[in-house]
Structures are given as C-alpha cells and as structure tokens.
C-alpha cells in the first residue's frame, strides 16, 4: 500500500472504503489525539478494516512546549468565556490551530520515518483539540467544539483527513462522547468477557465489552484533570509524578462522599463531562498534599461508582491513558473497585496510543459508513456514523 500522488488517485483508491462488505481489504490508517491535559499530540498507525485490528504500526508523540501549551490553554480559556455566546474568539482559535498544525505535522513526519515497505498511511483520523463541550440537558442542546485546520493539514500530509467526529452525534441528540468504545470492542475480541476498559485522561471514561455485543460506555467522572490543575496552581509542576504528593497527604472521605452525591452522578447512562465540570476548586480549603490525595482518590471512587452502573459485573478493568502511570491512583482503583485492575500493557496493548489508534479505526469506519456512536455509548437514538473528510487539493 502506498501514498497516492493526487486527489483523483486517492479518491479512486478509497472508493472501496465506502462499503460494509465483510471482505473489505484492510488499510493502514493513522490516528491522532490531543487530549484535554494539553501535554502532547499522540499518533499511531494500525492496519484495520474498521472492525478488526490486524497489525500495529509505528507510534509517535510530540510533546507541547511551554509556549505551545500556553497558546492551547488560552484557547480553552477563551472558549469557556465565550461559551457559544457573542463573538467567537477567532484570533485565539487561529493561533491554537497553528500550533496544532505544526505539532501534528511533526508527529506525522516521525511516523513516516518509521514506516518501511508498503506500510505507509493511506487515510488519517484526527480528533482535533477539544476546547468546549456541553452535554445535552433538559433545556439546552448539546454542543461540542474541536479545533483543527483540516485543509492545511490535508495539504501538508497529502492524504485524506477524517475529522469532526462528534458533531453529528451531538446534533442527533447524543452526548458526542465517548467515541472510543467501538475500538475497545475490537481490542477485547479475545479477552474473557465481560471486561471494562477505563481511560484515565483529563476525564475518566468506561467501556463495557460483553458477549452480547451491545456496547455500553460513558464518562464516569474526573481523572487527571483536577489534580493536575491543583499541582499547577501550587506551582509544583504540571502533574503529581508517580502520585508522590497524593501519597504524602490524607484523603478527605467526607468530601468524596459529598461529591459523589452531586446530581451528575445520579444521571442515567450514558453521559459525558467537560474537562472543567469537575476541577481543582473542589479541593479549596485543603492543604496541598491532602488536596492531591483527595482529588486522586475521588477519581478512583467515581470509577467504582461507574462500574456499579453497568448492566453486568465485569471480570477485570483494563486501564489506559496517562493515569495508569500513577501508582497511587492504581492502588486506589484496586481498593475501591473490587475487581482485578490491569494496565493496558498487561493486556498486550499500547497504553499511550489507544486513543490515537481509536481515531485511526474511526476514520476507516467513517469511510465505510459504519457506525461510530451507539445508543449505549452516547445516547443517540440509533447507531450512526460521523465525521467529515477533507481531501488534499494539491498533491505530488
């Protein structure tokens, strides 16, 4: 498989993707993810037909510099202040898109350097940077915004870009998140089910994969976001490395119990969170170490509560995302969830690349017109596809 030399060739090559045939020929797909922690853009390649993962390709990570991270954080702040009312902060968003374009291109070039023979990407799925997300409520419709300059990136990559994966779901009344469950299902094909896949990013989300093939998934609470924010607020770095700060503090269980009694935790599944729906302000009044301990334990307690909401009891929880690197958080999960806790690596997966891999698979599903969101994952009424395709205009 090779990178095509023009839009016509690309379109002809990908014509077969618009098919739900079971004998569809797999392609090398490249996925990108930039999470709400604003630490890096991750890239990963997989060989997939949109339903199975047949082979894993190279991965890359482009860490944001302090300056780049500030630009992205400013865009998030501007988006929260705007909140879809009044004039959109166009210039701030444009600066963020410039950062996203240059960093995605750097990760793309890293991937290409690792490719050999025919194992080169043919299609790219890019999530973009979420700067604002509002779950649908009784009186307000859902909205979601991911920043990306897809036209510029398509030209630089010389490949079709699939993007904007969440908007159609939200417009149809869904939560717009989570979207990774269908990829988790592919990863769990050979595991002893039912199994839960837990992603610990800025927000925590759970997927239930069972033999019924009816996917369930939802955001179950905050993960790294509040404690990272708390550490930065106290000028102790960007995050609690190895959970050391949390381990030195005491957990305020009364606060955690009160937080778990908030209205959001009583809402029926599925549901989603914005990164700042639960934030570092929760720990106000606690000293630094106790704040770290309590916010971290809250994440684990929210996961335990989330597991109890599933229709089946799971045999194990497989943890991916940055939070799995925090031993204190992993210990809290083990203590509070009552089931074996495994890391993605224990399962033979690439724990730092799963979300990027997911958007590679979702790109192929989009081109094959296969669903990417489901009633049990986003609350949409019927399974539906999503995303848009941007072809490069000038290639070769």
Q: What is the pLDDT of residue 18?
A: 53
Q: What helix, strand, coil percent values describe the chain, rounded to 5?
A: 40, 20, 40
Which are the contacts of 250, defined by CB distance < 8 A and separation ≥ 6? Answer: 289, 290, 293
Q: What is the pLDDT of residues 47-69, one digit of tens each?
A: 999 999 999 999 999 999 999 99
Measured at the CA of 184, the angle between CA 181 and CA 189, to 5 degrees, comes to: 130
Whether the per-residue pLDDT at 286 is higher than 70: the answer is yes
**In this structure, how many other beta carbons lie within 10 angstroms of the beta carbon of residue 94?**
12
Q: What is the pLDDT of residue 4?
A: 37
- As a whole-number percent, the residues of the chain with pLDDT over 70 amount to 93
Residues belonging to the binding site for ATP are 35-42
**Cα(386)–Cα(396) distance, integer angstroms:** 29
Across the range 155-162, mean pLDDT stands at: 97
Closest Cα to residue 309, out of 275, 272, 255, 267? 267
**In this structure, how many other beta carbons lie within 10 angstroms of the beta carbon of residue 63?**
11
Residues belonging to the binding site are 35-42
Closest Cα to residue 130, out of 184, 170, 157, 158? 170
Q: What is the pLDDT of residues 11-28, one digit of tens each?
A: 455 545 555 555 578 999
Closest Cα to residue 98, out of 156, 57, 143? 156
pLDDT band at 37 (very low <50, low <70, confident <90, very high): confident
Whether the per-residue pLDDT at 357 is higher than 70: the answer is yes
Ordered domains of the chain (ranges, CATH): 7-179+352-390 (3.30.420.40), 192-343 (3.30.420.40)
């Amino acid at each position: 498989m090779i990178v095509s030399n023009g839009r016509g060739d690309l379109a002809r090559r990908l014509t077969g993707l618009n098919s739900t045939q079971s004998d569809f020929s797999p392609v090398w797909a490249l996925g990108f993810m930039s999470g709400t922690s604003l630490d890096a853009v991750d890239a990963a390649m997989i060989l997939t037909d949109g339903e199975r993962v047949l082979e894993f390709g190279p991965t890359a990570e482009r860490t944001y510099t302090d300056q780049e991270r500030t630009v992205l954080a400013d865009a998030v702040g501007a988006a929260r202040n705007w909140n879809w009312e009044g004039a959109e902060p166009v210039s701030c968003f444009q600066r963020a898109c410039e950062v996203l374009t240059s960093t995605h291109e750097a990760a793309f070039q890293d991937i290409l350097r690792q490719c050999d023979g025919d194992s080169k990407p043919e299609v790219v799925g890019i999530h973009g940077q979420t700067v604002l997300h509002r779950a649908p409520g009784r009186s307000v419709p859902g909205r979601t915004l991911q920043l990306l300059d897809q036209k510029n990136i398509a030209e630089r990559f010389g490949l079709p870009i699939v993007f904007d994966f969440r908007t159609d779901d939200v417009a149809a009344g869904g939560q717009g998140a989570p979207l990774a469950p269908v990829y988790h299902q592919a990863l769990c094909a050979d595991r002893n089910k039912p199994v839960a896949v837990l992603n610990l990013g800025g927000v925590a989300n759970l997927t239930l994969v069972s033999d019924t093939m009816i996917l369930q998934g939802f955001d179950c609470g905050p993960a790294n976001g509040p404690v990272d924010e708390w550490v930065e607020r106290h000028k102790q770095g960007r995050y609690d490395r190895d959970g050391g700060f949390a381990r030195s503090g005491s957990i305020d269980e009364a606060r955690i119990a009160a937080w778990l009694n908030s209205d959001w935790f009583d809402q029926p599944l599925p549901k989603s969170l914005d990164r700042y729906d639960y934030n570092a302000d929760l720990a106000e009044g606690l000293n630094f170490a106790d704040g770290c301990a309590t916010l971290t334990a809250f994440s684990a307690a929210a996961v335990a509560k989330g597991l109890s909401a599933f229709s089946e009891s799971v045999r194990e929880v497989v943890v991916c995302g940055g939070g799995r690197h925090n031993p204190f958080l992993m210990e809290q999960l083990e203590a509070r969830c009552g089931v074996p806790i495994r890391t993605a690596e224990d399962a033979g997966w690439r724990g730092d690349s799963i979300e990027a891999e997911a958007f590679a698979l979702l790109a192929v599903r989009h081109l094959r017109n296969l669903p990417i969101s489901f009633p049990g994952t986003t609350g949409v009424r019927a399974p539906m596809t999503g995303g848009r395709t941007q072809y490069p205009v000038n290639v070769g």
